[in-house]
Amino acid sequence: MLDEVEDWLRRRSWSAADRPLGTLLAAKEAAGPAGTVSVVLPALDEESTVGEIVSVIRRELVERAPLVDDLVVLDSGSTDRTAAVAEAAGARVVHRDTVLPRVPAVPGKGEVLWRSLLATSGEIVCFVDADLREFSADLVSGTVGPLLTDPGIQLVKAMYDRPLEAGGAVVPAGGGRVTELVARPLLNLHWPQLAGFVQPLGGEYAARRSLLERLHFPTGYGVELGLLVDALDEAGLDALAQVDVGVRHHRHQDGQALGRMAATIYRTALERLVRTGRLKGDEEGLVRPLLTQFSRAADGAPEGGGGGGFVPHTHPVPVLERPPMAGVPEYRARRAA
């Protein structure tokens, strides 16, 4: 298996600089409708960063070089000025609840990504997190590039360094804690073919619509791992690739938020192991769909005493997955039209 991963790394890992923008534009023109590109930013209360990301993409990849055909911010219920800032910067803003309204929306990043397939038309769909800072357009052109130039590629993940920036200190490779502690061990143990992915949980990736519409979308934080594992099963390892785009700067979450993310990702992995028969047992009983975390009581002891001064907080672990969009009647009708 190590030889297979090393061979894949040699053949399916590139740098964004390997495909200059002129090469991509020529490939896009030659591809015709198959080369149309939609960029989707899922956003929830990201007014401080979303405007700059949209501005860079519009300036560099819509106006100066017509690589991107559709730039969409899909707002999942922001209470700040995310939608207004994104629209002013040049994005088409779509609100989550207006897409497929007959299906009540649930919270979660995966829910928004799933609905974005119905809100966009590009044959290549590129996802970009809306909390990035110091954004560079080659994050988009780099991940889209292999899809425009190689018809055998179906999905491309961005790879990058993730510095951890906290309290004025910078740890060069300190980001991606859930990746290193949860996702990478899970992939190496159960899907070793995917061990070569540097950033399996990264939110920056592009894929052909023809693949995405056939995949299940976990509604929560497990969406990236779920899509990667399912893409391996659907398209095979040789259809997957990654591109080095340098450094990614983004907002970091606290330890308890990361714990909730980790639980969701673990649950997503277990569901796939059960679905494929690699683990036996009742899917709902396989793992408790709740996560209990603790915080110190304000007065040093919880009400009623006991507990050693800690208060438990229980959070649901999302288990809902949306079906392949290709089977949704509204999506089929739109594609037919």
Write out the residue range of the structural domain in which residue 166 sits. Answer: 2-258+319-336
Mean pLDDT across 279-297: 72
Q: How confident is the model at residue 300 (pLDDT cuts 50, 70, 90)?
A: low
SS3 186: helix
Q: Residue 275's pLDDT is what?
A: 86
Answer whether residue 266 is part of any domain. no
Answer whether residue 60 is part of any domain. yes
Greater confidence, 316 or 47? Answer: 47
CA dist., res. 128 & res. 153, Å (int): 19
Instruction: Give me the DSSP letters along 285-319.
Output: HHS-SEEEEEEE-TTSS-TTS-GGGEEEEEEE---
Answer whether residue 163 is part of any domain. yes
- Count CB atoms within 10 A of the CB of residue 136: 17
Arithmetic mean of pLDDT over the chain:
90
CATH assignment at residue 106 = 3.90.550.10
Answer whether residue 307 is part of any domain. no
Q: Residue 316's pLDDT is what?
A: 85
Beta strand 155-161 with 205-208 is: antiparallel
Give the range among 209-213, 232-236, 248-252 with minimum mean pLDDT.
Answer: 248-252
- Count CB atoms within 10 A of the CB of residue 74: 27
Answer whether residue 267 is part of any domain. no
Greater confidence, 168 or 69? Answer: 69
Answer whether residue 311 is part of any domain. no
Q: Which residues have C-beta within 8 Å of that of residue 76, sequence separation ≥ 6?
A: 42, 43, 44, 96, 105, 107, 108, 109, 111, 112
Q: Residue 174's pLDDT is what?
A: 47
Answer whether residue 281 is part of any domain. no
CA dist., res. 160 & res. 176, Å (int): 10
The number of distinct structural domains making up the chain is 1
Task: Tell me how many degrees the CA angle 8-34-29 measures, rounded to the nearest 5.
Answer: 100
Q: Residue 56's pLDDT is what?
A: 98
